[in-house]
Amino acid sequence: MIFVKIILWILGIIAVLLLAALVHTLATPRKHTTYEPHPDAGQEKLCAEKLSRMVQYDTTSYPDTYDEKKFAGFHQVLEELFPLVFEKLEKTEIDGNLLFYWKGKSSEHPLVLMSHQDVVPAEGTWTHGPFSGDIAEGKVWGRGASDTKCSVMGFFEAVEEPAAHQLCTG
């Protein structure tokens, strides 16, 4: 009988916590933004071409297997696509992983941008080849286009663009 009371007491606490979470969620005002994107067709095309090139490079990883040459080749592609990142930032390579340090004016608010470079094996039927990097229907197609080479590209692009601006403004 005591066991049943303890279970009911725990379920009651869980119900109260769930109810509190629901009330909090419903009572929290929704956030609105006035941000309006300003698409730049030239920039969109350039980014799509960079992602396409990255997708075309096969970085498939397999359990208990590391292919150093494969990732060294991918790093070369990255350096070709984002030369200022490799020129302006301090690069450290650890077992095929890239770590970049971008010295700022202050170290008060550090920022970490992190992703992985490998993709899982491509299985099943593909409308476009898994490493084609085809640009069609407004998308880049292939293994890694939406996970995770897109985030690698976004991070590199987010550093390359300000680095280019720094060169122009001194």
pLDDT in tens, 73-90: 999 999 999 999 999 999
pLDDT over 60 (residue 36): yes
What's the gap between Cα 151 and its chain centre? 2
pLDDT over 70 (residue 47): yes
Distance CA 118, CA 20 (A): 41
pLDDT over 80 (residue 17): yes
For residue 62, the cross-strand partners are 65
Distance CA 122, CA 125 (A): 9
Residue boundaries of the structural domains of the chain: 41-169
Q: Which residue has the higher pLDDT, 111 or 165?
A: 111
Which class in CATH covers the domain with range 41-169?
alpha beta
Give the pLDDT band of residue 68 (cuts 50, 70, 90). confident
Handedness of CA 141, 99, 157, 84 (dihedral sign): negative
pLDDT over 90 (residue 165): no
Global pTM value? 0.76
Residue (of 87, 61, 152) closest to 114 by Cα position = 152
Work out the end-to-end distance of the chain between its first and last CA atoms, rounded to an integer number of angstroms: 77
